[in-house]
Amino acid sequence: MAGAFKDQSGSVFGTERPVTGWVGPNGFDEDHPMLVVTIDENQESHLYLVDLVNGRAVLTEVTVIFPADEARRLRCLNGICALSSFGSAFGFGNVVFFQWDGQRSITPIQGLSQRTIGVGLIEAGAGRVYVGTTSFNDDSYTVFEIGTDGTFIDSWFNPVPVGCIGPGHIIFRSVLEVLLSCNTSGNVVSSRPFDGG
């Protein structure tokens, strides 16, 4: 089924152009393209669809998605993708949501103004996806529920637990619990987003 893949993802830094995130449905070969987000020398972010043609990577810039400066994480699950950008020193970051069928079709869903590093995804059942994002500037995190057609169903905004300052990364431990790394305070905390944090 198109778009029903579980992504393989990671972060790599190269010497010519830092690659801050990549996703691919089944590895990288001539039948399976990848999405790659990079940062150029001006800290501007670019999203590329990468195809392998005759053993060489061919990049096509995705022009329907507009990440902010300093892109950080790119994650996809069940065809729903989230791309986080920390933004410039002025704090203008964003999270961009879009649909990707694992091949050539990329459809924007929505952008959210939020200076964030971390993005975590987990299946919510019936093809829906929970997307967790952190907000570094106001010590909070948000979980969005997104349907199979890309519609936003619900969202839950929470302050981070006491003792966590400057949340960075977020992962789902289960559909009911997230783990947050706290960059400024230097610890990791657990939170239950649907119980008010």
Give me the long-range contacts of 49-58 (CB less than 8 A, separation at least 24).
49/104, 49/106, 52/28
Q: For residue 124, is it within any domain?
A: yes
The answer to whether residue 145 is domain-embedded is: yes
pLDDT average, residue stretch 54-81: 82
Which of these, 57, 41, 80, lies nearest to 49 by C-alpha position? 57
Q: Decide if 2 is inside a domain.
A: no
By DSSP bridging, strand 45-53 and strand 34-39 are antiparallel
Q: Give the whole-angstrom CA distance, residue 153 versus residue 53.
A: 39
Query: Structural domain of residue 164, as residue ranges?
Result: 8-195
What's the confidence (pLDDT) of residue 91? 54
1 is a domain residue: no
Residues of the chain above pLDDT 70, percent: 77
Position 162 scores a pLDDT of 95
Residues 108-151 have pLDDT tens digits of 887 666 667 788 999 999 989 999 999 888 899 999 999 988 99
- Which of 30-34, 53-57, 76-80, 152-156 has the least mean pLDDT? 30-34
Is 176 inside a domain boundary?
yes
Domains in the chain: how many in total? 1
Q: Does some domain include residue 3?
A: no
For 12-31, the pLDDT digits (tens) are: 444 344 555 666 655 556 67
Cβ distance 83 to 96 under 8 Å? Answer: yes
Query: Residue 85: inside a domain, yes or no?
Result: yes
CATH of residue 37: 2.130.10.10
Is residue 165 domain-resident? yes
